[in-house]
Amino acid sequence: MSIPLTQGAIEALYKGLPIKNPLLQLLNIRQMTSNSGLPRFRLMMSDGQHALSSFLLTTQLNHLPEQKLLVQHCICMLKKVVTSTLADGRTAVTVMDMEVVQSPEETGGRIGNPTPYNKDGQMSSPAKKSSATLEPDSSSATAPGPSHRSTSFSRSNAAQSSPTNSPMKVSPMKDTISPMKVSPKKEANSPMKFSPAKDTNSPMKASSSSPMKVFPISTLNPYQSKWTIRARVTNKSNVRQWSNSRGEGKLFSFEVVDESGEIKITAFNNEVDKFFSLLEQGKVYYISKATLKVANKQYSTLKNDYEMTLHAHSSIVPCEDNQSIPTMNCNFVQIEELENRDKDAVIDVIGICKKAEDVSRITTRNSREVSKRALHLIDSSGKEVTATLWGEEAEKFDGSGQPVVAIKGARLSDFGGRSLSALFSSTIMVNPDIPEAFRLRAWYDREGYAVNSQSLTERKSTNSGSRMNWKTLSDVKNENMGHEEKAEYFSCLATVVYMRKENCLYQACPSADCNKKVLIQHNGLYRCEKCNREFSEFKYRFLLSANLADFGDNQWVTCFQETAEVLLGHSAQTLGQLRETDEAAFDEVFQKANFRTHIFKNRVKLETYNDESRVKVTVMEVLPVDHREYSRRLLSNIRRLAF
Amino acid sequence: MAGIIDVPKARINCSMLLQHINQAVCFVGRVSKVHPSGKTFTAVDGEGKTVTVELNCCLEEELSGVVEVIGLVSNKGVLMAATYNLLREDRGTPFDLELYNEALKVIHDFPQHYPFEAAVSG
């Protein structure tokens, strides 16, 4: 038979009303870690009617639970208590002196059916009001606590009673609010900050008391600073170092996606060290406190006006709840569709890597050495295309077993017809875990392997006509060709109607590979500025200015050595000599070359010379007219136009 | 004969013969068979169809290869040749009869774009 408990004691204690030596039953006892290293015990006491878990045991009495004197269901007499109110309004009852009067065995279990004392319904569950799931249950500290929203949170608090993050702070109630409110997401560092004494019971260093709410990426903008996003890393770049006139440093960038959109995030210098190893592609994180700015479209192809930069106060914490976040925002384009897309478009593709060539090293125009590897991808459209990987991606690619390869953010080029090139920001996935990959695999194993596919990327142009960009001379002006920064190439059929005889030749440096014009010195020697040497002779080279015409328009072009020689039918040296010796013969060469029709392959580009910009056309190659091929092309053009 | 030379002549193939009866035409085809008399021969056009060509005087030379014949189309669809022209195969690019036939079709399909007669007379 157990001793009767003091009814109404819970309410009295809570309200701070004096009550003498109340008898209460211990329903639960929990140990918390405190800053000082001393354990702190929290008690849930019941008067048979109500239960309250806001009891704290003074450390002087720690020996009671430690020596197993104070155990669940025992009955205690509270001899001295102090009821205090925490900064956030919660009430804590600190037991300064108590005595265990009956053991649990004698008591025989829980007395009565006490309900959590709920003054305004916020007491017993000192926490979370964010999650609606928390209910009375929460007061029972025994409940492992509904993991509100973030399992990480509850995990970290395993030791600590979950629902409670004890607002039980005895003294320095610096506490702001129930950490529960503060969604764990807000974490930042050590979600393991237990000591309630210190600050908000939230294992999160809740520096700010604002409730953590997850914002959709699409709402981010530079004018709002209190936000948190929950997103998955879709693409993480390697660390890149730079060194320019303004200094040097390192950076890495990554892209994240959530249900609303995607955004690019960059980290520099210190942040690289902090976050590079933490972030893993494919995982979901809570990110907050970073700088938003307008996106530099030159470096990113994501659909977002803004991009983010991490700084010293940025916080990134892994998130376990990732069902709702899409894995990857991929818009795969069928290979046969690539023909219809514009060149330089950035697209996503997926296909079976039928064949991967060996990695090769090439030297770029800037004399940099880089590795490259060509992959031949085929998809269920039956068409094939060549994709090029660069650098580390090329080196570590393993094409054995004809894997499914998905590339997000590859650039489509018109090299060889149509081909793909991986950019610095592209993501290459081998055998990704997505439904398209499984579909492709099944298709390939069933029938794809036998398909005699046609590649959009022609390696050798057997039919030269297939690669040429045929234009007429009027097209050059009508289409404003060459006005962009980049050079454009085209082929045309045209007739030479005029060639400038004067200044068609210049004296060039005789060294092999050097074509710089030489200056005549007073001593009769020829000086080359590039080689920094003087020579006793020179070689003649062509720099011919000619006017070409077709039915629609004419065009001034420049022909260098090789092309001029084809047009004139003589070498520069020969012509140079003729000019000096036989002027009539010299003129005749030009006469004969005039009004001849050829196929011209040209380059048109905007050139700037001393502040003046002009579109210039240079002849890259002169070919004889293949009338049959030309006729065939005209006929097919006519038929096409007729429909 | 002089009359025929100065007059604008439509270029035709075998299928167009009957539309040009009693008109001066220009036909290009490959010689297939020469009559032993030397006064007539058959020629095949780019489509593979055959036409009979009659000459006013005997053939002095051996005729073979692609030939261009200018003449009048008789009521019976026979080409009464006024003059002919051999397109030598040993010189220059060989003549592509099929391609020529394609061009011919275009000229006839779009006469508004190929006003040859106006050009000659105008």
Q: For chain B, what is the mean pLDDT?
A: 88
Most confident of A12-21, A57-66, A302-311, A620-629: A620-629
Residue A121, pLDDT score:
42
B7 touches chain A (CB under 8 A): no
Q: How many A×B Cβ pairs under 8 Å? A: 17
CA dihedral sign, ordered A149, A153, A158, A163:
negative
Q: What is the ipTM of this complex?
A: 0.88
pTM for this predicted structure: 0.43
- Please give the average per-residue pLDDT across A138-144, as a whole number: 40
Residue A259, pLDDT score:
82
Q: How far is B5 from chain A (nearest CA, A)?
A: 27
Q: Please list every residue in chain B whose beta carbon sits closer than 8 Å to the beta carbon of residue A638.
A: 106, 110
Does residue A107 carry a pLDDT above 50? yes
Does residue A2 carry a pLDDT above 80? no
Does residue B113 carry a pLDDT above 60? yes
Residue A277, pLDDT score:
85
Higher pLDDT, A296 or A556: A556
Residue A129, pLDDT score:
39
- Name the nearest CA neighbour of A517 among A564, A580, A561, A480: A561
Residue A187, pLDDT score:
39
Cα–Cα–Cα angle for A351, A356, A361, nearest 5°? 130
Q: How far is B74 from chain A (nearest CA, A)?
A: 31
Instruction: Answer yes or no: are the C-beta atoms of A518 and A527 closer than 8 Å.
Output: yes
Quote the CA–CA distance of A237 and A390 in Å, as a whole number.
13
Q: B121 pLDDT band (50/70/90 cuts)?
A: low
Q: How far is B109 from chain A (nearest CA, A)?
A: 10
Q: A628 and B102: CB-CB below 8 Å? A: no
- In percent, the amount of chain A with pLDDT more than 70 equals 79
Q: B102 and A642: CB-CB below 8 Å? A: no
Instruction: Answer yes or no: are the C-beta atoms of A188 and A179 closer than 8 Å.
Output: no
Higher pLDDT, A179 or A347: A347
Q: For chain A, what is the mean pLDDT?
A: 78
E strands, B4-118, are 10-12, 24-34, 40-44, 50-54, 66-73, 79-87
Does residue A575 carry a pLDDT above 60? yes
For the ranges A165-174, A420-429, A573-582, B61-70, the lowest mean pLDDT is seen at A165-174
Residue A36, pLDDT score:
64
Across the interface, which of B99, B109, B110 has its CB nearest the CB of A631?
A: B99
B111 touches chain A (CB under 8 A): no
Instruction: Answer yes or no: are the C-beta atoms of A32 and A73 closer than 8 Å.
Output: no
DSSP secondary structure letters along A191-239: S----TTTS-SSSS---S-SPP-BPPGGG--TT----EEEEEEEEEPPP
Quote the CA–CA distance of A154 and A398 in Å, as a whole number.
41
- Please give the average per-residue pLDDT across A197-219, as a whole number: 54
Estimate the share of chain A in helix, then strand, then coil, as percent rounded to the nearest 5.
20, 35, 45
Q: How far is B103 from chain A (nearest CA, A)?
A: 7
Q: A138 pLDDT band (50/70/90 cuts)?
A: very low
For the ranges A125-134, A296-305, A365-374, A609-618, the lowest mean pLDDT is seen at A125-134
Nearest residue of chain B to residue A630 (CA atoms): B99
Q: A496 pLDDT band (50/70/90 cuts)?
A: very high
B120 touches chain A (CB under 8 A): no
Does residue A162 carry a pLDDT above 50? no
Residue A150, pLDDT score:
37
